[in-house]
Amino acid sequence: MSSRVLIRRSGLHHLSSDSSNMQRQLLYFLLTTTILTTIILATPGCSSIAGRFLARSIEQIGDPIAPVSPKLHRPIRPDTELAITWVGHATVLIQISDKVFITDPMFTNTVGMVMRRRSERGLDPSSITKLDYTLISHIHLDHYSYGSIDMLPQDGMLLVPFGALPYTPDFDHREIREMKPWDVVEEEGVRITAVPVQHFSGRYGFDIPWARDRGYTGYVIEYRGKTVFFGGDTGYHPELFKEIGRRFDVDVALLPIAPIEPRDFMAHNHIDPAEALIILEDLDAKVMMPMHHRTFVQGFDPTLTFAVEQLQRIAKEKNVADRVLVLDIGEQRVLLNGTDVRH
């Protein structure tokens, strides 16, 4: 196994070179803010994509956050084969039998103190009383949220992509494991495989050149005969997803569907609804659940519901609407043999 491991024992934190992570992260954030502001101000009319997006975020920062009601007070069930709860954005609480997983936890109201949540988080973090595994797909601010992780139980394992350990604060998880594509964690019948996706790295913008292909991954979770694919953020690459489909019998595929526009800018790193449905077929998954929409303003999509409405329309045209589970933020679905049986 080629993954790097940070193990915590008796409160002593090995990999001591990361002891000053928080100071470095603050410095990186301040530098990035300065660089981005300089670029935007230097662009006439604030016409760059970054400038337009930042301006749009600032314009809407005072808008009210849409409430989620009612919320589940006990999302972890005493007995279930497979339950999926969409918390919002790329945050999904997954329960397979007695094991609980969460993907890219995002519970704060802002991303990087700039991008504000448009919909309330679907669960209160205090309602998540157990977490066996926390899965981080990449180190972008809206997917690797330090404040959100601090709100959650840290007695389980934290999985992060290759290159993410230098960005990882002093969390208290029993083990932090850095995963390269096709690395595997296997224990107590749980098997989690890091799988390749198509995205980009870095956390603060200026660190992209030396991060290169580090810092992003998808995951496949297997336990007690159930298999869940989590795509994180990804563009479309047919060979990647067909290979994953050949290796795994996927029950549920958690796939991003936004941002969509401007398409020429987004296409390499973000699939759109039509591509999500192609991946559903590439994986040969029983069902897919869309995520990464309706939570934050992303790109220049005209409305927060634009992506999911497009997904539902195309799925109906392709006669696969019965394989697309569209959840509201905060909604839970219980699945049996790939069939939605209760929520």
pLDDT tens, N- to C-terminus, the chain (343 residues):
556 676 543 333 333 334 444 555 555 455 545 545 544 444 444 445 555 555 555 556 567 888 998 899 999 999 899 999 999 999 999 999 999 999 999 999 888 666 788 899 999 999 999 999 999 998 888 889 999 999 999 999 999 999 899 889 999 999 999 999 999 999 999 999 999 998 767 666 555 555 565 678 999 999 999 999 999 999 999 999 999 999 999 999 999 998 878 888 776 777 999 999 999 999 999 999 999 998 888 778 778 899 999 999 999 999 999 999 999 999 999 986 556 655 4
User: What is the model's pLDDT at position 168?
Assistant: 93
Question: Is 256 a member of any domain?
Answer: yes
* Helix ranges (DSSP H) in 131-247: 146-150, 208-211, 238-247
Question: Is 74 a member of any domain?
Answer: yes
Q: Are 23 and 29 in contact (CB under 8 A)?
A: no
Hey, which residues does 85 pair with through a beta bridge?
Answer: 93, 332
Question: Is 221 a member of any domain?
Answer: yes
Question: Is 121 a member of any domain?
Answer: yes
Question: Is 2 a member of any domain?
Answer: no
Q: Are 25 and 182 in contact (CB under 8 A)?
A: no
User: What is the model's pLDDT at position 51?
Assistant: 55
**Count of structural domains within the chain:** 1
Q: Are 135 and 90 in contact (CB under 8 A)?
A: no
CA angle (200 as vertex; 198, 204 as ends), nearest 5: 160
User: What is the model's pLDDT at position 205?
Assistant: 58
Tokens representing residue 132 in the block = 């066996």
267: left (phi over 0), alpha (psi -120 to 50) or beta: alpha
Q: Which domain holds residue 171?
A: 66-342
Contacts 24+ apart (CB under 8 A), 184-188: 184/1, 185/3, 185/157, 185/159, 188/99
Question: Is 57 a member of any domain?
Answer: no
Q: Give per-residue pLDDT as tens, 236-291.
A: 999 999 999 999 999 999 999 988 788 887 767 779 999 999 999 999 999 999 99
> Mapping DSSP to helix (H, G, I), strand (E, B) and coil, where does residue 124 land?
coil
Q: Which of 192, 168, 167, 171 is nearest to 182 (CA)?
A: 192
Q: Are 52 and 59 in contact (CB under 8 A)?
A: no
User: What is the model's pLDDT at position 40?
Assistant: 47
Hey, which residues does 336 pair with through a beta bridge?
Answer: 339
DSSP characters over 12-65: EES-GGGTTHHHHHHHHHHHHHHHHHHHHHHSGGG-SHHHHHHHHHHHTTTSPP
**CATH code of the domain covering residue 125:** 3.60.15.10
Question: Is 59 a member of any domain?
Answer: no
What is the separation of C-alpha 45 from the centre of its chain, rounded to a whole number of angstroms? 33
The CA distances from residue 15 to 106, 165, 170, 182, in Å, are 26, 9, 10, 23
